[in-house]
Chain A
Amino acid sequence: MGRVGVPVYRGSFETPQAERLLWRAGFGPRAGEAEALAKLGLDGAVHALLYPGREQLVGPDPHDSKGRPLAPLDAWGHDHTWWLDRMVRTSRPLVERMTLVWHDWFATSNDGVGNQKLMLKQNALFRSHSLGSFEELLIEVTRDPAMLKWLNGVDNSKDAPNENYAREMMELFTLGADRGAYTERDVREQARSLTGWENDWKQGVGDYDFHFDPDAHDTGTKTVFRKSGRYDWKSACRLCVSHPLHASFFVRKLWSYFVPVAPDHATQAALEAVYRKNRQLKPVLQIVLSHPALYDGPRMMKPPVVHVAGLLRRIGAPITTTDWAWIGELAGQQLFYPPNVAGWDETRWLDTATFRGRWIGVQRILEGRTLDPAKSTAADAQTVLTRALSFWNQPALSDATRAALLQFAQTALADAGKQKWKQQQYPALVENALRQLIAVSPDVQTS
């Protein structure tokens, strides 16, 4: 694009760069996808992600372990599995990845909402606004039923203000804590501006009919950010996004989903300037996805759901179980259940417990795809490793990791000694083991 002062990646854009882009801006490549994207060049590749056209879901429909279609609006765990399937099969990876970003940004948990229909409705909102205007998104989120329920928007009335949403809207969604952007007084006044939302409840239906009731709204004058007016809920949103400290918060936070180190000063300034024009996502994402730091910079831990979706996508495996929900929980990311309103802690994805969760995710993919040792024939370590890498469609591994895997294969095959049945069967066992080890290696956990 050649904007003045915005660094753009100028190195070679081949399959490895395209693959990294697909991991950061999506869920990794399908077979052949990185190669095809590389042919478009950097600008073409970023354009293809930003303007993907109509969504196509590639591959068979998902089902549970009994072959029944998913029921994401109702059944426990089907919500997670339904969305995972979309990540695996979508032709619009950036749309889906940004939907995940908004789910983390406006982190709403069904633990507090207690209604999968409302959660899925919010998910559709995130998807339809995934690459649009942040201001519009904030306004829509503010009146979104799941959010109204989650942060007590419907418990906030002129006679009985509830500060929950007002505070998080500024602290987590638009301005950030401890930056001097707002005071405790602003929290209380914004809560008054946001009064008026209500809903009904009926046995068997649950929460329904979310609406704004002017009688419950505080029409008085509020003083927010040292300005006064008869603000309402939309003005509360607009005051936040037009606050002088909003753009810096916004671009820094958005950037952090794609690049693990903070933007340099020039980049930060350029991002803010572009964002301030109209608060549209695409021009900002264009800069982030074309930035040298994404291609030349350090690797990034894959979020657990991205790791699993990427592995399934990589081998074109369909969703055949709703076990993915509890496996997601073990790995530290059950969709629709972020740990709190701040979302998942991106700096602490991996620990000894979530490592085991990721291990079980890989194990679940391999179940039903194992090699039968009875049908195995003798093979050397290098051959077995090559086959295991082919199973995953040739993931890029560092030399050191490759050496560790080869060492394992050699040692394990040598255990067969002179016993003929072992010589025949161990290559299958070792390849099964290698498939697991490859997918949990540090190389594949990061991108």
Chain B
Amino acid sequence: MSCFECTRADAVRAVAGRGLPSIEPGMPTPAGTGLSRRSFVAKSLGLALSVYGAGKLQWFEEGIANAATTPASPILVTVFLQGGADALSILYPEGDPLYRKLRPHLAVSGGTTFAEDDRLKWHPAMSPIAQLHGEGKVSVLPAVGYDHPDQSHFTSRHFWEVGATDTRLLTGWMGRYLDVAGAPDNPLQGLSLTGQLQPTLATAKVPVAAIDGPDQYDFWVPGVWGEVETRMLDAVGSLGGVASSDPAFRTAADVTLQSDRLRRQLDPFSAKGAITPAVAYPKSDDSFPTQLQGLAAMVAAGLPLRCVALEATGEYDTHAGQVSALAPALTTTAASLYAFQRDLEARGVADRVLTLVWSEFGRRAKENGSGGTDHGAAGTGFLIGTRAAGRQVGEFPGLGSGLDDDGNVKATSDFRAVYSSLLEQWLGFDAARIIPGAATLTRPKLVK
């Protein structure tokens, strides 16, 4: 079989264990990669040959995985709204007769109608997302969750992070994807832009990275410079290479090694002014906008990113004072996501990035007595990007029969099905290998 006609999508899809890449002539090279079709195909070919030479499936998978970390690969970004964001404020059901009864003090007003369901309106702070939705770039999940919802922050968040309602799983769902599809020497393939590793990206085998921003990964020591400094930085890698059978020691050494690799990968960004955004981002004390700004620059620079995790501005666990807490958090979050999308578009790389916005649960339909809401069940999710299908997944179930026995919104879409669709339709990977029970889940169409 010839691989001269392999396309990016095929190369990536091949990792799914569905067999060898098929030929789909005429598929264009993704925009803005700066990589010619020819050079990409050449890489795929070289790797494909090594497969046949080695004659082992494992080699084949690793080879294709390396090809898939070329700058042509699709990138999945996840943005976490920590604390359980109130779905009934983000897309508030003004058209539901029970809304103002359940939320006498907290009912939102003044938003624009959600074009796909006229019972719902966008929170005024969400207007940038509403605008992107109008352009067909946002798929809305008005009530995403799972059966038998757990109202613990940590359990429910854990379920979302590991991609299963299983408290014992230790690897994140994107981490497991990288373990199979990723490379053994590319920490950037799984990047937490939150200053600490996001559990969604926790892997068992391959390296992943956490940074605050691409321009903030320098290492220096007082009283060390010149040749000695260069040798010292090299020695960080040597310390990371020290062998040990002790798990904690091994972890420390592995992270040391990954930090060394990451420093080399990010070296081009270390200079002042290396990142120039193509659009204006919102000003904020929170680093979310600058993290997205750095991410857009990294994507445009062709760094080998695959899965990226961030946390949105704000604290969404609004047991009290919900109205005053939610508006500023949503304002900065929505404006930042909007700027990020526009930045990607201006840089010509928007077709390579999809962004999933999620929270561990929504909040109770009936407000509590503290001007807030307690933990609920289904929440709101969004998928943003030029390649997002732009159609809502599941629908808002209403506040009558749509509530469960605890008075929480019932889920009309399942987060594991969303993950399965993203793995297959976006990353081109068989979800059954990543998401437990994927075979029984109906995949919503998320990618166009």
Q: How far is the CB of A423 from chain B (nearest CB, A)?
A: 13
User: Among the listed B240, B256, B375, which residue makes an inter-chain contact with A163, where contact means beta carbons less than 8 Å apart?
Assistant: B375
Question: How many angstroms from the CA of A207 to the CA of B169 in the assembled complex?
Answer: 41
- Of A278-286, A309-317, A404-412, the stretch lying at the interface with chain B is A404-412
Which of A12-20, A76-84, A121-129, A346-354 has 4 or more CB atoms under 8 Å from chain B? A346-354
Q: Establish whether residues B249 and A443, one from each chain, have CB atoms under 8 Å apart when the complex forms.
A: yes
CA gap between A339 and B323 in the complex, in Å:
23
Measured in the bound complex, the distance between the Cα atoms of B319 and A161 in whole Å is: 11
B54 contacts partner chain A, Cβ-Cβ < 8 Å: no
Shortest A398–chain B CB gap in Å is 7
A residues near B251, Cβ cutoff 8 Å: 301, 350
Verify B256–A366 contact, CB threshold 8 A: no
A contact face: mostly helix, strand, loop, or mixed: helix
Given contacts A178-B167, A404-B238, A432-B222, A352 and B210 within 8 Å (CB-CB): yes
User: Which chain A residue shows the least CB distance to B195?
Assistant: A353
A398 and B244 form a contact (CB under 8 A): yes
A177-B154 contact given A155-B372, A298-B248, A440-B256, CB 8 Å threshold: yes
A401 at the interface (CB under 8 A from B): yes
Asked if residues A348 and B221 are in contact (CB atoms below 8 Å), the reply is: no
Say whether A332 contacts B196, CB under 8 Å.
Answer: yes
A300–B211 contact, CB under 8 A?
no
> Is there contact, CB below 8 Å, between A432 and B221?
yes
The chain B residue with its CB closest to the CB of A355 is: B259
A111 within 8 A of B: yes
A260 in contact with B248 (CB, 8 Å): yes
Question: Interface segment, A56-64, A241-249, A367-375?
Answer: A367-375
Number of B interface residues at 8 Å Cβ cutoff, please give it.
67
Closest to B321 in A: A155
Taking a contact as CB atoms closer than 8 A, the residue among A162, A187, A353 that contacts B192 in the complex is A353
Cβ A299 vs Cβ B369 within 8 A: no
Whether A159 lies near B228 (C-beta < 8 A) is no
Minimal Cβ-Cβ distance residue in B for A414: B231
Interface digits, B151-169 against A, CB 8 Å rule (1 contact, 0 not)?
Answer: 1111100000000000100
Which residues of chain B are near A164, meaning CB under 8 Å?
319, 374
C-alpha spacing A172/B155, complex, angstroms: 11
Q: Is B243 an interface residue (CB 8 A)?
A: yes
Residues of B within 8 A of A167 (CB): 151-152, 375
Query: How many angstroms from the CA of A432 to the CA of B258 in the assembled complex?
Result: 23
Which residues of the partner chain B approach A341 to less than 8 Å between Cβ atoms? Answer: 153
Q: Are A352 and B209 in contact (CB-based, < 8 A)?
A: yes
Interchain CB contact under 8 A, B232 and A446: no
Q: Give the CA-CA distance A351 to B199 in the complex, in Å.
A: 11
- CB of B140, distance to nearest CB on chain A (Å): 27
Query: By the criterion CB–CB under 8 Å, are A155 and B319 in contact?
Result: yes
Contact B315 A429 (CB under 8 A): no
Q: Is A264 an interface residue (CB 8 A)?
A: no
Cβ-neighbour of B154 out of A156, A160, A342, A411 (below 8 A)? A342
Q: Give the contacts of A293-334 with B (CB-CB under 8 A).
A: 298-301, 330, 332
CA distance A160 to B320 in the complex (A): 11
Given A155-B320, A442-B239, A445-B252, A352 and B258 touching (CB < 8 A)?
A: yes
Task: Decide yes or no whether B253 CB sits under 8 A from chain A.
Answer: yes
Q: Mark B350-386, 1 if CB is under 8 A from A, else 0.
A: 0000000000000000001110101100000000000
Distance in angstroms between the alpha carbons of A348 and B248 in the assembled complex: 11
- Could you give, for residues 232-255 of chain A, a 1 whenever the CB lies within 8 Å of some chain B CB and a 0 otherwise? 000000000000000000000000
Say whether A152 faces chain B, with CB atoms less than 8 Å apart. yes
A217 to chain B, nearest CB (A): 14
Interface residues of B in 156-194 (CB under 8 A from A): 167, 187, 192
Q: Is B246 an interface residue (CB 8 A)?
A: yes
In contact, B221 and A171 (Cβ under 8 angstroms)? no
Residues of B within 8 A of A43 (CB): none
- Centre residue among B151, B208, B229, B235 by max chain A CB count within 10 A: B235
In the assembled complex, how far is the CB of residue A57 from the closest CB belonging to chain B, in whole angstroms?
28
A209 close to B (CB within 8 Å): no
Cβ distance B404 to chain A, nearest Cβ, rounded Å: 11
Contacts of A75 in B (CB 8 A): none
Within the complex, the shortest CB–CB distance from A367 to chain B, in Å, comes to 5
A446 to B247, CA, bound (A): 10
Residues of chain A contacted by B217 (CB below 8 angstroms): 352, 356
From known contacts A177-B152, A354-B196, A437-B232, infer whether A404 and B262 are also in contact, taking CB-CB under 8 Å.
Answer: no
Contacts of A162 in B (CB 8 A): 319-320, 368-370, 372, 374
Using Cβ atoms and an 8 Å threshold, which residues of chain A touch B192? 351, 353
Query: A437: which of B211, B236, B406 is its contact (CB, 8 Å)?
Result: B236
B223 at interface by CB-CB < 8 Å: yes
Q: Are B320 and A340 in contact (CB under 8 A)?
A: no
Q: Is B223 a contact partner of A171 (Cβ separation < 8 A)? A: no
Does A224 count as interface, using CB distance less than 8 angstroms? no
The verdict on B46 contacting chain A, using a C-beta distance below 8 Å, is no
A441 at the binding interface (Cβ < 8 Å): yes
* Chain B residues within 8 Å of A178, by CB: 150, 155, 167
Say whether, besides A155-B372, A366-B222, A433 and B232 are in contact (CB < 8 Å): yes
Closest Cβ–Cβ distance, residue B164 to chain A (whole Å): 14
On whether the beta carbons of B239 and A428 are closer than 8 Å, the reply is no
- Interface status of A426 (Cβ within 8 A of chain B): yes
Contact A163 B220, CB 8 Å, known A298-B246, A442-B256: no
- Chain B residue nearest to A359 (CB atoms) is B219
Q: For residue B241, which residues in chain A have a CB less than 8 angstroms away from its CB?
A: 404
Contact of B211 among A112, A353, A432, A433 (CB under 8 A): A353
- B223–A370 CB distance below 8 A: yes
A430 at the interface (CB under 8 A from B): yes
**Looking across the interface, which residue of chain A has its beta carbon closest to that of B209?**
A352
**Shortest distance between the CB of A167 and any CB in chain B (Å):** 7
Distance of A407 Cα from B229 Cα, bound (Å) = 15
CB of B242 within 8 A of chain A? Answer: yes
CA distance A281 to B225 in the complex (A): 51
Q: Determine if B224 and A432 form an interchain contact, defined as CB atoms under 8 angstroms apart.
A: yes
Shortest Cβ distance from B83 into A: residue: A340
Q: Are A352 and B211 in contact (CB under 8 A)?
A: yes
Contact code string A51-78 (vs B, CB < 8 Å = 1, else 0): 0000000000000000000000000000
B259 near A352 (CB under 8 angstroms)? yes
Interface residues of A in 395-447 (CB under 8 A from B): 398, 400-401, 404-405, 407-408, 411-412, 415, 426, 428-430, 432-433, 436-437, 440-443, 445-446
Contact between B369 and A355, CB atoms less than 8 A apart: no
Is A159 in contact with B256, judged by CB distance below 8 angstroms? Answer: no
Bound complex: CA A156 to CA B151 (Å): 18
Which residues of A approach B to under 8 Å, CB–CB?
Answer: 111-112, 152, 155-157, 159-164, 167, 171-172, 177-178, 184, 187, 260, 298-301, 330, 332, 339-342, 345, 348, 350-356, 359, 363, 366-368, 370-373, 398, 400-401, 404-405, 407-408, 411-412, 415, 426, 428-430, 432-433, 436-437, 440-443, 445-446
A-B pairs with beta carbons under 8 Å apart, 25 shown: A111-B315, A155-B320, A155-B368, A162-B319, A163-B374, A187-B151, A299-B246, A301-B248, A332-B195, A342-B154, A351-B210, A353-B195, A353-B211, A355-B259, A356-B219, A359-B219, A366-B223, A373-B223, A398-B249, A400-B244, A415-B228, A437-B236, A440-B236, A440-B256, A446-B249
Q: Which 9 A-B pairs have the closest CB atoms?
A: A160-B369, A370-B223, A155-B370, A442-B252, A432-B223, A408-B235, A353-B210, A351-B197, A433-B232
Known: A162-B320, A341-B153. 16 other contacts (CB 8 A): A171-B152, A178-B155, A298-B246, A351-B196, A353-B195, A355-B256, A363-B221, A398-B242, A404-B238, A412-B232, A415-B231, A433-B231, A433-B232, A433-B235, A437-B239, A442-B242
Interface residues in chain B, defined as those with a beta carbon under 8 Å from any beta carbon in chain A:
82, 150-155, 167, 187, 192, 195-197, 199, 202, 208-212, 217, 219-229, 231-232, 234-236, 238-244, 246-253, 255-256, 258-259, 262, 315, 319-320, 368-370, 372, 374-375, 406
